[in-house]
Every structure is written in structure tokens, then in C-alpha cells.
Amino acid sequence: MTARWADMVLEDEAVGFEPVGDTVGVIQTEGVQSWTVVRRFLTEKLIKIEYMRQVMALVWQPVRGVQVSELQPNLFLFVFFHESDMHHVLQEGPWSFENHTLICRQVQDGVLPGDVVLDAVDMWVQVHDLPLGYTSDEVLEQVGNFLGSFVRCDDRFAGTPWRSFYRVRVAIPVARPIKRRMRLVKRDKQCCWVTFKYERLHTFCFFCGFLGHSHKFCLRARESGLPLDQYPYGADLRAGGGRGTRAVGDPWLVPLGGSPRAADSPAVSASENCGGRGAPQQSSKQIEERGIVAVSKRCLEGSGPGSRRSGSGNGDVTMTEVSKNLHMAGTGSQSRPSS
């Protein structure tokens, strides 16, 4: 009976109500103008709000603070009190907590937070191997729409005739796999492959390519029976990842169980000649003192929990003595395009 009469509208209920006043339609918190963002994490795990709110506040450091509340399981409301804080969070992401990607959208005036669609995450995508003549903003916009929904281009190096890769901001849909590459058909009907790398790419499946879960917990990956090295996706989709340790000290390293290098070995001779450039030699005492100064400088620059890393402009936080929740939060390092 209740369901039968639910859609019935009484005559007095059909009369529209239109509030008046200067504050109508303006989001305010305790009389102070605010900007509201609703967000969820790409995970089925339970997010502990007390840990999460502390971590995200530390990473963002909003100039006028932020309020965090939970609307329902895995749906959170963030209220900012300065517009620049909201723009920083929306434009500098994606962010993560314990490596779980955070999807966020601004709540517009007159919209219920629960009605905001959270089906895409904005991130920077590097477009590699674009041939000359196909690097204009018009082409990049079409590439962004191929990946998802184009947001904007990176205009930091506008006017450069060619770069090793180009960056586009794209709203990546979470309901379909990310794309590894694109078959580009040129004007002469010849084809070439354009590859993609994703900046701040958090947990995703190496088998099915979906964001938000790992291949370790993917049913399709388990049923395939394939080894990990034969999965279609890999860590090389992360921009700047997989670089490994640079072998800059190999000429001076002695393997475990090995014998010291001979005095006339090529490595020692090269080091003494400083690469054949005739640079002045330095005594072992000078090298030792310089090493002590360098270590001391690094300690001073990175001392204390939560201190910012020297030379990093993307909001990374050094988590030396903070919990693993802090260590897993925030964002990874970005690779900047080379001209």
C-alpha cells in the first residue's frame, strides 16, 4: 500500500517553495563561506576516517583548514574554507591513502553530495612517440578523449616544436581498463604506435587493467594461470617508475666475496684521470670531508618527521618516523617533460 501511494502528490504539496535572501544557494559552514568536495576511494577495504583525515590534512596543509566527515561507508565530505585549497586538491591530484586512489568532485550549489557522480579520476597522462605534425593542442585534445574525457593540456612548454613526450590532463573512467597505447593513423595512411604513461598511478590490476584492485586479488588473473611476466599490463605504465638504482658507483664497488680491484684496472685509472679531462686530483681526506658535509646537509634538510623533501615541488612528505599510513599517503614523484 505504501509503495502504491508513494508517487501520489497532494494538492498542497504541488505548490513550489522558493526561499529568498542573500545567502540562498551559497554553501556556508557556521556563517563562513566554504567550498565542498565529495570523494570516495577506489577500494573495497574499510577506510578508517580518523587516520585518513589526519594524513590528508598533513599532505594538503590547507591554509584555512578542512573539515572531514563521513556521509556513508567510503563516501566522505571535505569542506574547505579557502577556494585555493579546494583548487589545489582538485587540480594537483590524484591523491591516495594507503595506495588507494581518491576520486573527488566539487559539490555545486543546490546539489546533494550523494548525487555527485564519482566515476572518473583526473590524472596527468604522458603521451610518448608522437610524430612531428601531430603534437598540436587539437590533436592532444583528441588523444585525451581517446583515453577518457579531455580536461586540459600542459602549457608549461608552449611553443616548443617537439618534446620527448606531451602531457594531457584526462578524466580516466574507472569502469573500463586504462589504455596502454594507441594505433595512430597518419595522413599518408601509414600507422605508428603511441604509448602512454600515467603519473601518480596507484593500485591497478596488471591483468585486467582496472583501477582500484591488484592482480593479487583478481579472479580473472587467478583463473588465467599465466605467470606475472605474461600479464598484459605492468609497472612500466607508471611514469618515472621502474627506473631502478643507477649504476653510478659500479667502478668502485667490490662484489661480496670478490677481491679488491687491481691498481692498474681501467676503473681506477679512469677515476685517477677524472675521465681524461685533466681535472685536479683530490686526496682521500678531501673526499671524506666532502662526503661528511653532504650527509650533514641531507640530514638538516630532511630532519624531523613530516618534513618536506628538498627539491620536490609536488607535495611529497618524508615519513621517517611517522606511521605507515602517512608513508602510504599523498603522491609519488612526477617526471617532468624534457624539451
Q: Where are the domains of the chain?
A: 26-108, 120-237
Report how far residue 218's alpha carbon sits from residue 68's, in angstroms, rounded to the nearest whole number.
32
Positive or negative torsion for Cα 150, 155, 159, 163: negative
Write the DSSP symbol of residue 102: E
Report how far residue 325's alpha carbon sits from residue 169's, in angstroms, rounded to the nearest whole number.
28
pTM passes above 0.85 = no
Report how far residue 73's alpha carbon sits from residue 90's, in angstroms, rounded to the nearest whole number.
22
218 vs 8, 26, 199, 205, CA distance in Å? 46, 44, 23, 7
Report how far residue 268's alpha carbon sits from residue 283's, in angstroms, rounded to the nearest whole number.
14
Closest by CA to 68, choosing from 56, 58, 78, 80, is 78
CATH code of domain 26-108: 3.30.70.330
Q: Which residues contact 164 (CB under 8 A, 6 or more apart)?
A: 128, 337, 338
pLDDT in tens, the chain (339 residues): 555 655 555 555 556 656 655 555 555 555 678 899 999 999 988 899 999 999 999 999 999 999 999 999 999 999 999 999 999 999 999 999 999 999 999 998 888 888 999 999 999 999 999 998 899 999 999 999 999 999 999 988 777 777 889 999 999 999 999 999 999 999 999 999 999 999 999 999 999 999 999 999 999 999 999 999 999 999 999 997 445 556 666 777 777 777 776 766 655 444 444 444 444 455 444 544 444 444 444 444 444 444 444 444 444 433 333 444 554 555 544 444 444
Single-letter residue type at 211: L
Q: How many CB atoms lie within 10 A of CB 184?
A: 17
Q: Which residues contact 107 (CB under 8 A, 6 or more apart)?
A: 27, 36, 37, 38, 77, 113, 116
Report how far residue 80's alpha carbon sits from residue 70's, in angstroms, rounded to the nearest whole number.
15
